[in-house]
Amino acid sequence: MEPRDVVVDGWGRGQLRLRRTVRRCLLLSAILALAAPSAAQARAFPKDFLWGTAIAAFQTEAGGRPANTDTRSDWWVWSHDATNIAERHVSGDLVERGPGHWRLFRRDAALARRRLGANAFRLSIEWSRLFPRSTRGARTPRQLDRLADPGAMRHYAAELRAIRQRGMTPVLTLNHFTLPTWLHDPIAVREAFAGVGPDDPPPTVERGGWLNDRTVREFGAFAAWAAWRYGKQVDLWVTINEPMVVAVNGYVNVAGAFAGWFPPGVYSFPAAVTVVRNLARANARAYDAVHRHDRNARVGPVQNMIAFTPADPASANDRRGVEHADYIFNRVFLNAVVKGQDDEDVDGRIEAGERHPDLRGRADFIGVNYYFRSRVTGLPGPASSTVALFDFLPSNTYRHPQNPAAPPCPTTCSEFGAEVYPQGFRGVLRTAGSYKLPLYVTENGLADSDDDMRRGYLLDHLRVMRGAMRDRLARVEGYFAWSLTDNFEWAAGYYPRFGFFSFNPDTLARHERPSAETFGRIARLGSLPSGQ
């Protein structure tokens, strides 16, 4: 049959063009639907999710000119101590050979924004830089302000301004391990504990750091001053970083068994318990102080959390040890600052006198730092008369160049001997989420100088985090990778390389590792790569 002639007037030609256009649009939509997931599927994380990296002042500021180094903190004294170096309690690396963030903070902020796609930046301010001399007797922010170092005060204001000008939300940590030497003389404390048994009452030391009530009071005043001075530039405040690490690595050191060798590097269970309790009080004072001067602030602590598993799943002792390790390390401090439970004897039972309303509710969020698994071996009975639940031995670190006598890695470990265990991240987030507060993953990363593990580490942990969020185990509102640059990793010095960027200690030039591109793509799109 031959086609018929069709007469189309102007209106009819318009209708034909419209139908053709509609068909083309429908065909294009179908192609796009097959080629890419929906917007909801593409964005695996909320649009307002915070993506960033974390740094700490002492670990990154030094380097370059001598003026970039702060010599008035306990950690400067501790890392330069000849006895510590001789006994290999610290690496002997000089913090002065660092990345020089004090001078290059604007460049680092630009790297975080442009290369990593960050919309947030976690940093700390150094108490001993701002107040190099004692502030005894000064209680109001104005009184403290007269004692503050003007250059340091202006510097941190400029750094916060640089972060905000680049479109990033600053997350400011008030205490990231270090204390001014006018509050803590770690060598004097170490000497005072010589000959003191692990369950003996701790000696009194004038500059005893977190052993002393004075440090708690001074920290509250410092927090009030910081909120008064910087409150207009900061909305998210971290009171204390990793309180249990401060207590355990500083006060439960057994050479050849478990030792973090943080200052003052002693072995005393009563001292460790005192420090944990004082840190909970310090958190409460800082929380109240920041809110008093910055009503819009959100304030919380950062808790390092470990995935504890039994060394032998069939062993009842090992399983019990896991429960006790999880309670002591992951829950005791959070129970104090969220629930007001001050477990003085760390026995897992909260009695009437151990409930403190002045501690309760002092967290608007919980920061979670997660790095590795610890395999727990249960003991027949407690190793301490002070801490009844300490009936276990944790295995946290495996063989690496700085610890060649350690056992070999049982699975996959970082260059720093930490067992990579992304599955444990889910349990950690479940535990933190059980406190019914928003969470920020404030640190997560691994030592990987040649960058052959970091991309997989990131993807595996982000996948687990996304699953925990979808299953409503935790309300995670941000993720901060550790770290922007390689930095001074405390007693281990510069050996562990955690950075997206390495640096040249002579020129301070930054060199980007390939994993930075992976993180940047995730942060910009708010989703994991296809197939992840």
Strand bridging mode 236-241 / 366-378: unpaired
Tell me: pLDDT of 19 over 70.
no
- Measure the CA–CA gap between 98 and 505, rounded to whole angstroms: 6
- Asked if residues 97 and 505 have their Cβ atoms less than 8 Å apart, the reply is yes
pLDDT of residue 24: 54
Task: Kindly tell me if the per-residue pLDDT of 12 is higher than 90.
Answer: no
User: Based on the number of CB atoms within 10 Å of its own CB, is 433 exposed (0-12), middle (13-18) or buried (19 or more)?
Assistant: buried
Q: What pLDDT does 23 receive? A: 53
- Is the pLDDT score of 329 beyond 90? yes
Decide: 244 and 303 in contact? Cβ < 8 Å: yes
Number of other residues whose CB lies within 10 A of the CB of residue 507? 9
For 246, 251, 385, 474, the CA distances from 210, given in Å and listed in that order, are 9, 11, 22, 31
**Amino acid (one-letter) located at 516:** A
pLDDT at position 42 is 56
Phi/psi class of residue 281: alpha, beta or left (left: φ > 0; alpha: ψ in -120 to 50)? alpha
What is the tens place of the pLDDT at every residue in 20-70? 554 554 444 443 333 444 444 457 899 999 999 999 999 999 999 998 999
Q: pTM here?
A: 0.92
Write down the mean pLDDT value for the chain: 93
In order, the DSSP letters of 419-433 are BP-THHHHHHHHHHH
pLDDT for 16 beyond 80: no
pLDDT tens-digit readout, 379-392: 999 999 999 999 99
Query: Can you tell me the distance from the alpha carbon of 196 to that of 379, in angstroms, rounded to the nearest whole number?
Result: 24
Residues 372 and 445: their CA atoms lie apart, in Å, by 9
The pLDDT confidence band at residue 530, using thresholds 50, 70 and 90, is: confident
Judged against a pLDDT cut of 70, whether residue 86 lies above it is answered with yes
CA distance 412 to 418: 8
d(CA 200, CA 202): 6
As a whole number, mean pLDDT of residues 307-318 equals 98
Q: Are 119 and 168 in contact (CB under 8 A)?
A: yes
Please answer whether residues 180 and 71 qualify as being in contact, where contact means their C-beta atoms are separated by less than 8 angstroms: no
Spatial distance between the Cα atoms of 70 and 58, rounded to a whole number of angstroms:
8
Q: What is the mean pLDDT of residues 271-280?
A: 98
Residues taking part in catalysis: 242, 443
> Using a CB cutoff of 8 Å and minimum separation of 24, what contacts does 109-115 make?
109/159, 109/162, 109/163, 109/166, 109/168, 110/166, 111/484, 111/501, 111/510, 111/512, 112/52, 112/53, 112/166, 112/168, 112/484, 113/166, 113/167, 113/168, 115/500, 115/512, 115/516, 115/517, 115/520
Cα angle 162, 168, 172 (rounded to 5 degrees) comes to: 80
Q: Please tell me the predicted confidence (pLDDT) of residue 339.
A: 98
Q: Residues in the chain, how many? A: 532
355 contacts: CB under 8 Å, gap ≥ 6: 340, 341, 342
- Percent of the chain past pLDDT 90, that is, above it, reads 89
Report the alpha-carbon distance of residue 366 to residue 435 in Å, rounded: 9
What is the distance between the alpha carbons of residues 367 and 479, in angstroms, rounded to a whole number? Answer: 10
Mean pLDDT throughout 105-120? 98
Tens of pLDDT, residues 439-494: 999 999 999 999 999 999 999 999 999 999 999 999 999 999 999 999 999 999 99
Handedness of CA 521, 524, 525, 527 (dihedral sign): positive
pLDDT of residue 257: 81
The pLDDT tens digits of the residues spanning 140-157 come to 999 999 999 999 999 999
- Kindly list the domain boundaries of the chain, sorted by start residue: 49-525
pLDDT band at 4 (very low <50, low <70, confident <90, very high): very low
* Third-level CATH fold of 49-525: TIM Barrel (3.20.20)
Q: CB within 8 A of 267, min separation 6: which ones?
A: 193, 198, 251, 252, 253, 254
